């Protein structure tokens, strides 16, 4: 594990010395995956459970359908009574009642009678098949039947959709709209789902103006707070961001100690005296990593404070996004029971220009797709947030690689599918 | 355009006759795409704008950064003053001030002096470059400089991220988290986005019990209402579903006339006397299509009632999902400015068993992915909603095809990527 260098009286001197040693991305991910587990379950009303992740298998408490039902519009009959019916040997039946969905027939069937029935309606007592209307001809209150049916024909059996006691859906499954329908059909009112992590976004920096403010003088408007809120919401977290936190240890400490599952600190993550969060985390909790062999985001850190996972994200907006993508987003997804891997789709494309990196460091290079090839962005410093809007996605250059030559086939992760 | 057959005194008789003529899926989609246009724009607070669709291009009202800033930790210098500096010919400077982000130096630079500077901090008056800390050696309040820098080195120029007056993001773009950051960085407080369609879900059927109720007797629990709510929310609509509407014309009429953009009627969509919605729509508005050459969902219909788009979705839950996927979802996405096409990803896979269809009809066949092949679901009637949960996706068999032989490569749409 890497450590910040000791304090000195001169913030700049301290910060300029940088990190004594950086951890590798693999080390950080291995630790993170070791401590991540889905949060406790909670019961969620079914109409709001779309997209949530099942925390337990769900079993059916009843059969669906709970009664024999007709699969088509026609006539409920005793199949045996139709034996021998044919166009040249029609059999006459009287229609004695009708069965509609939710409104069953009152009468039952005996020889010589049928009951008109609609799709989804319950099969009347005595009937064992449904005769399609096409095999009949109406004649007043009677019908002429000109074909046979076999027992069970056009009848939906009890439990044919869902059988009582069967597992309908298994955990951990992210619920699709049709899953909600299936759960509703067995009468489930609330679904056991993993709790969504509460995420406190702690944006620090005396140079920052709140979102929605025009930047002026030497102050810049906070970009990381709103971006992190949107990232967190996308990944199933419940972000809380009451505004910029003053660059004072006690204010930052109070914000980091709120009752949440995850703390994202943006800015002040490095090793200078102005960088309070790492020192606070090291003192009050565990600063597990600080300084990571990657670009951008090398000053990122993480650790634990009580039961909270704390991510120290660099203030530079591209670094902030990158550190979120690599670490914090993974945690938020995993805590909520989702697939921890990137919510991005990847494609393989040919590089138009070489991508240079350094051995020992993971690179997160923003790229555009042009004519089905991949073009690294020319201006892509960690301070150029607009590069991530211009980019269609990114290419990862692993730590053991010096980069890729032009013409290489590279895996490209797309910000938007 | 197809029409329901005329009324008769016997609901079953009427319904059994079915549709006189069915419209093709292509006809329906052509009409739908002709009437769909994004809704009016509204201003959305930036912190809640993630995932919304920009209704206008957004221009930058200011430069980002708005001042020259340091790209690294080091010393702000006049580049010319470092000329000739080398490890064997060090030049001594006094450090007269420091510049931190948001806290600029008070002093300016003259020959013999430098100002300590942090990444992101404003370049002090007089300076034109930043000397990396590695090229210096501290000596009390002075530093020894052992290397040259050229003018502009390690300095971020005004507007290098975003230039004032430039278009930052173009409509229609679905906003990514980093876009929110970019918009915030130029001081934008509210984003012009297409309004999200309000969608009234009208679930009808005397056989239905409300979601959350255990099915009993001949009643079944509503599956379509919660499913449609989840589908609609996924596609950017704002669903309203106050509960099951009694199977009475005036109740259905009142629900269809609420102040919304889209009405989804579930159940009672066919041509019997119990099927009120098509008759109401034909009388009060326009029943543009009724009966579509597809399976499932052939009794689906659609039209307009005032400014509302009305979709008549069959009560059978698989038909309901299919008709939503083909038509209603397309409308909801397009009204909100999103890509109208399916929000599903497709892959090409080999069929394990043949898929049979009929020429003249579009089929929506639920399938599973097994060992990287596609297996059609054995039980897949329109009443078996659980088939859509068991399915990984679906294969479309177009109207001009009799189906696909085993071993064919087919495009498979995945419910979940």
pLDDT tens-digit series, residues A281-317: 999 999 999 999 999 999 999 999 999 999 999 999 9
- Quote the CA–CA distance of B207 and A70 in Å, as a whole number: 14
Distance from CA of B317 to the nearest CA of A (A): 8
Dihedral angle computed from the Cα positions of residues A274, A275, A280 and A285, in that order, rounded to the nearest 10 degrees: -170
CB B4 within 8 A of CB B292: no
- Mean per-residue pLDDT for B379-389? 82
Provide the chain B residues 341-380 that lie in CB contact (below 8 A) with chain A: 345, 379
A244 shares contact with chain B (CB less than 8 Å)? no
Q: Do residues B18 and B81 both lie within one domain?
A: no
CATH number of the domain residue A268 falls in: 3.40.980.10
- Quote the CA–CA distance of A361 and B21 in Å, as a whole number: 66
Determine the 3-state secondary structure of B250 from DSSP.
helix
Q: Do A15 and B47 touch (CB under 8 A)?
A: no
Q: Do residues B79 and B127 both lie within one domain?
A: yes
pLDDT at A9: 43
CB A278 within 8 A of CB A14: no
Q: Which of A47, A61, A209 sits opposite B226 (nearest CB)?
A: A47
Task: Give me A185's structure tokens.
Answer: 């059909």
pLDDT at A17: 53
pLDDT at A19: 77
- Mean per-residue pLDDT for A259-283? 89
Q: Do residues B104 and B209 both lie within one domain?
A: no
Among A148-152, A154-158, A375-379, where is mean pLDDT lowest?
Answer: A375-379
B251 shares contact with chain A (CB less than 8 Å)? no
Which DSSP letter does residue B399 get? T
CB A166 within 8 A of CB A35: no
B8 pLDDT above the threshold of 60: no
Q: Do B215 and A156 touch (CB under 8 A)?
A: no
CB A233 within 8 A of CB A261: no
pLDDT at B381: 74
Q: Do residues B308 and B218 both lie within one domain?
A: yes
**Phi-psi domain of A102 (left: phi exceeds 0; alpha: psi -120 through 50; beta: other):** left
B43 shares contact with chain A (CB less than 8 Å)? no
Which residues have CB under 8 Å from A163's CB, separation 6+? Answer: A60, A63
Confirm whether B381 is domain-assigned.
Answer: yes
- Mean per-residue pLDDT for B346-371? 95
Q: Do B178 and A389 touch (CB under 8 A)?
A: yes
H or E element: which one contains A335? helix A329-335
- Global pTM? 0.93
Phi/psi for B362 (5° steps) reads -90, 130
Q: How many domains does chain B have?
A: 4
- Which residue, of A127, A156, A185, is where some domain finishes? A156
pLDDT at A39: 98
A5 pLDDT above the threshold of 80: no
Question: What residues make up the domain containing B94?
Answer: 69-156
Beta strands in A210-361 (DSSP E): 220-221, 238-240, 262-266, 286-290, 294-295, 301-305, 308-313, 345-351, 355-356
A35 pLDDT above the threshold of 80: yes
- Quote the CA–CA distance of B130 and B75 in Å, as a whole number: 5
Number of other CB atoms surrounding residue B141 within 10 Å: 9
Q: Do residues B73 and B145 both lie within one domain?
A: yes
Confirm whether A149 is domain-assigned.
Answer: yes
A340 shares contact with chain B (CB less than 8 Å)? no
Confirm whether A5 is domain-assigned.
Answer: no
pLDDT at B273: 67
Dihedral angle computed from the Cα positions of residues A44, A45, A50 and A52, in that order, rounded to the nearest 10 degrees: 0
pLDDT at A18: 64
A160 shares contact with chain B (CB less than 8 Å)? yes
Q: Do residues A390 and A289 both lie within one domain?
A: no
CA-CA distances (angstroms) from residue B307 to A175, B258, B285?
A: 33, 11, 10
Average pLDDT taken over every residue of chain B: 92
- Which residue, of B310, B335, B360, is where some domain finishes? B335
Distance from CA of B258 to the nearest CA of A (A): 21
**Percent above pLDDT 70 for chain B:** 94
- Quote the CA–CA distance of B417 and B410 in Å, as a whole number: 17
Q: Chain B: residue nearest A141 by CA? A: B10
H or E element: which one contains A390? helix A386-390
Confirm whether A52 is domain-assigned.
Answer: yes
pLDDT at A33: 98
CATH number of the domain residue B370 falls in: 2.40.340.10
Phi/psi for A39 (5° steps) reads -70, 175
pLDDT at B380: 61
Q: Do residues B315 and B206 both lie within one domain?
A: yes
Q: Do residues B123 and B186 both lie within one domain?
A: no
A236 shares contact with chain B (CB less than 8 Å)? no
A86 pLDDT above the threshold of 90: yes
B4 pLDDT above the threshold of 60: no
B388 shares contact with chain A (CB less than 8 Å)? yes
Confirm whether A4 is domain-assigned.
Answer: no
Q: Do B176 and A100 touch (CB under 8 A)?
A: no
Question: Sheet of B308-313: strands edge to edge?
Answer: B238-240, B198-203, B262-266, B308-313, B301-305, B286-290
Q: Do residues A92 and A209 both lie within one domain?
A: no
- Mean per-residue pLDDT for A17-36? 90
Q: Mind giving me the DSSP string for B263-295? A: EEEES--SSSTT-HHHHHHHHHSEEEEE-BSEE
- Which residue, of B335, B365, B385, is where some domain finishes? B335
Q: Do A186 and B215 touch (CB under 8 A)?
A: yes
Interstrand relation of A238-240 and A198-203 (parallel, antiparallel or unpaired): parallel
Q: CA neighbours within 13 Å on the CB side: how many for A49? A: 32
Q: Do residues B93 and B213 both lie within one domain?
A: no
Provide the chain A residues 85-104 that lie in CB contact (below 8 A) with chain B: 98, 100-104
Which residues have CB under 8 Å from B188's CB, separation 6+? Answer: A212, B46, B58, B61
Condensed to tens digits (0 to 9), the pLDDT of residues A177-209 reads: 999 999 999 999 999 999 999 999 999 988 999
Determine the 3-state secondary structure of A58 from DSSP.
strand
CB B16 within 8 A of CB A130: no
Confirm whether A3 is domain-assigned.
Answer: no
- Which chain B residues contact residue A221 at CB under 8 A? 184-187
H or E element: which one contains B59? strand B58-59
User: CB contacts < 8 Å between A and B, how many?
Assistant: 308
pLDDT band at B224 (very low <50, low <70, confident <90, very high): very high
- Quote the CA–CA distance of B308 and B242 in Å, as a whole number: 18
Task: Give me A239's structure tokens.
Answer: 């972000």
- Mean per-residue pLDDT for B243-258? 95
pLDDT at B18: 63
Average pLDDT taken over every residue of chain A: 92
Condensed to tens digits (0 to 9), the pLDDT of residues B95-109 reads: 999 999 999 999 999
B12 pLDDT above the threshold of 90: no
Higher pLDDT, A7 or B168: B168
- Quote the CA–CA distance of A50 and A408 in Å, as a whole number: 41
**Percent above pLDDT 90 for chain B:** 86
Q: Do A64 and B220 touch (CB under 8 A)?
A: yes
pLDDT at B228: 98
- Which chain A residues contact residue B74 at CB under 8 A? 16
Q: Do residues B304 and B405 both lie within one domain?
A: no
Confirm whether B394 is domain-assigned.
Answer: yes
- Mean per-residue pLDDT for A60-66? 95
Q: Which of A46, A182, A214 sits opposite B386 (nearest CB)?
A: A182
B10 pLDDT above the threshold of 50: no
H or E element: which one contains A318? helix A317-323
Confirm whether B1 is domain-assigned.
Answer: no
Q: Do residues B206 and B287 both lie within one domain?
A: yes
Please identify which residue in the block is written with the tokens 């950017």. Answer: B236
Determine the 3-state secondary structure of A337 from DSSP.
coil
Distance from CA of B87 to the nearest CA of A (A): 19
Distance from CA of B403 to the nearest CA of A (A): 24
């Amino acid at each position: 594990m890497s450590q910040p260098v000791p304090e000195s009286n001169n913030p700049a001197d301290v910060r300029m010395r940088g990190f004594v040693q950086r951890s590798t991305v693999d080390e950080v991910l291995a630790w993170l995956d070791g401590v991540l587990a889905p949060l406790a379950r909670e019961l969620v009303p079914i109409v709001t459970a779309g997209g949530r992740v099942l925390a337990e298998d769900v079993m059916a408490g009843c059969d669906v359908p709970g009664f024999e039902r007709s699969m088509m519009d026609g006539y409920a009959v005793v199949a045996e009574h139709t034996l021998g019916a044919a166009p040249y040997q029609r059999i006459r039946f009287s229609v004695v009642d009708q069965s509609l969905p939710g409104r069953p027939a009152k009468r039952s069937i005996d020889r010589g009678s049928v009951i008109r029935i609609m799709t989804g309606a319950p099969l009347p007592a005595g009937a064992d098949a449904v005769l399609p209307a096409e095999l009949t001809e109406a004649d007043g209150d009677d019908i002429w039947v000109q074909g046979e049916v076999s027992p069970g024909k056009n009848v939906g059996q009890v439990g044919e959709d869902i059988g009582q006691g069967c597992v309908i859906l298994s955990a951990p499954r992210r619920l699709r709209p049709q899953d909600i329908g299936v759960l509703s059909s067995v009468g489930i009112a609330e679904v056991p789902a993993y709790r969504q992590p509460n995420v406190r976004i702690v944006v620090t920096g005396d140079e920052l103006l709140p979102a929605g403010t025009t930047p002026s003088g030497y102050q810049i408007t906070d970009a990381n707070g709103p971006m992190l809120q949107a990232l967190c919401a996308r990944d199933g977290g419940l972000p809380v961001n009451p505004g910029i936190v003053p660059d004072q240890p006690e204010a930052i400490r109070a914000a980091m100690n709120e009752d949440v599952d995850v703390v994202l600190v943006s800015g002040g993550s490095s090793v200078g005296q102005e960088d309070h969060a790492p020192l606070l985390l090291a003192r009050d909790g565990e600063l597990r990593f600080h300084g990571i062999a990657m670009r951008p985001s090398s000053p990122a850190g993480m650790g634990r404070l009580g039961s909270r996972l704390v991510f120290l994200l660099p203030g530079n907006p591209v670094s902030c996004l990158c550190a979120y993508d690599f670490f914090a987003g993974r945690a938020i997804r995993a805590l909520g029971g989702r697939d921890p891997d990137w919510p991005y789709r990847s494609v393989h494309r040919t590089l138009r220009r070489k991508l240079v990196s350094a051995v020992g460091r993971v690179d997160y290079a923003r790229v555009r797709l042009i004519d089905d090839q991949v073009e690294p962005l020319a201006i892509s410093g960690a301070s150029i947030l607009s590069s991530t809007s211009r980019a269609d996605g990114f290419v990862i250059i692993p730590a053991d690689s010096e980069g890729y030559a032009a013409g290489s086939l590279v895996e490209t992760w797309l910000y938007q599918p």
